[in-house]
Amino acid sequence: MLKTNTSIPSKMRAAVLTTKQNIRLEDRPVPQPEADQVLIQVKAVSVCGSDVHYYLEGRIGDFVVERPLVLGHEVSGVIVGVGDNVPEQRIGQRVAIEPQRPCGTCLQCRTGHYNLCPHMEFYATPPIDGAFQEYVTIQASFAHPISDNVSYEEGALLEPLSVGLWACHKAHISPGARVLIAGAGPIGILTAQAARAFGAAEIIVSDIQHERRQQAMKYGATSTLDPSKESVEQLEVDAFIDCSGAAKAVQSGIRAVRGQGTLCLLEWEEMR
């Protein structure tokens, strides 16, 4: 049963991908939270590369859009209702969403690695609808409170930021480190900012596009290079993080790592 202290409409607007490159607005019922869930009024959603792929191509690898799908998984909002097992004090909280639902019973879940759950249901991954709609539900533990000085737009970026933070953790970035990041897209730049927060002294970002290298210099990088014109293999970095998914970048990045250094193939994991 939904518990709320405000009036919740019965219908909401949703942006629905019906076929490749065709999105239409529909009226849909407002979802009802299960006992362990919260109902969230969506305030901001950012556009991920996966949303673009589904829109343009109708698929990502084995994930194929076979029926109408709501895209969007990088989302923030405010809790406006809760299920029976969730404290009513959570109503009114501003939150960023961890947009997934692991099974909770498989080996990976039971050993604390729920991110590797083979039965994961993830927002905006067929056949699970995402957040380009007015209301969504999620397990209460995956609705993370954000402080009042964080805007909803910033809150929506916490999901991709978490990717960069986890990459720096896996790459053992520490104060004074020299880091090479391949790819200056949104994930690469967020990873550069995360590396700076981890204390890296030198953050080198490589990308073949001049505009992206300029953006990287504004947001975290200490230097950039064009791998089509400059060699990265003699850099002798402490850590290499690939955010490009390009085989050539991975091959040259591996050679740039010093002995006992670390590497993390971030985008490859994301596309797996």
Flag whether pLDDT at 271 surpasses 70: no
| Homologous superfamily of domain range 161-271 | NAD(P)-binding Rossmann-like Domain (3.40.50.720)
With CA atoms as reference, report the closest residue to 121 among 145, 138, 140. Answer: 138
Flag whether pLDDT at 252 surpasses 80: yes
The Cα 262–Cα 192 span in angstroms is 16
Q: Name the architecture of domain 11-156.
A: Alpha-Beta Complex (3.90)
> Which pLDDT does position 90 carry in this prediction?
97
With CA atoms as reference, report the closest residue to 116 among 128, 104, 127. Answer: 104
Amino acid at 150: V
Average predicted confidence (pLDDT) for the chain: 94
Give me the mean pLDDT over the 252-269 stretch: 86
> Which pLDDT does position 245 carry in this prediction?
87
With CA atoms as reference, report the closest residue to 107 among 97, 117, 115, 99. Answer: 117
With CA atoms as reference, report the closest residue to 70 among 148, 154, 7, 130. Answer: 130
Q: How confident is the model at residue 257 (pLDDT cuts 50, 70, 90)?
A: very high
The Cα 237–Cα 247 span in angstroms is 19
> Which pLDDT does position 259 carry in this prediction?
93
Which class for 200: exposed (0-12), middle (13-18), buried (19 or more C-beta within 10 A)?
buried
The Cα 189–Cα 196 span in angstroms is 11
Give me the mean pLDDT over the 17-35 stretch: 96
Listed by start position, the domains of the chain span 11-156, 161-271
The Cα 15–Cα 135 span in angstroms is 12
Cβ atoms 179, 204 nearer than 8 A: yes
pLDDT single digits (tens) 73-90: 999 999 999 999 999 999
> Which pLDDT does position 6 carry in this prediction?
87
Task: Provide, rounded to the nearest whole percent, the portion of the chain with pLDDT above 70.
Answer: 98
Q: What is the pTM of this model?
A: 0.89
Flag whether pLDDT at 96 surpasses 80: yes
pLDDT single digits (tens) 106-154: 999 999 999 899 999 999 999 999 999 999 999 999 999 999 999 999 9
> Which pLDDT does position 192 carry in this prediction?
97
With CA atoms as reference, report the closest residue to 224 among 181, 193, 161, 175. Answer: 181
Q: How confident is the model at residue 270 (pLDDT cuts 50, 70, 90)?
A: very low
Task: Name 164's Cβ contacts closer than 8 Å, sequence gap at least 6.
Answer: 187, 190, 191, 192, 193, 194, 195
Give me the mean pLDDT over the 209-226 stretch: 96
Q: How confident is the model at residue 5 (pLDDT cuts 50, 70, 90)?
A: confident
The Cα 212–Cα 206 span in angstroms is 9
pLDDT single digits (tens) 162-196: 999 999 999 999 999 999 999 999 999 999 999 99
Task: Name 114's Cβ contacts closer than 8 Å, sequence gap at least 6.
Answer: 102, 104, 108
The Cα 259–Cα 250 span in angstroms is 17
Cβ atoms 210, 217 nearer than 8 A: no
> Which pLDDT does position 267 carry in this prediction?
61
Task: Provide, rounded to the nearest whole percent, the portion of the chain with pLDDT above 90.
Answer: 92
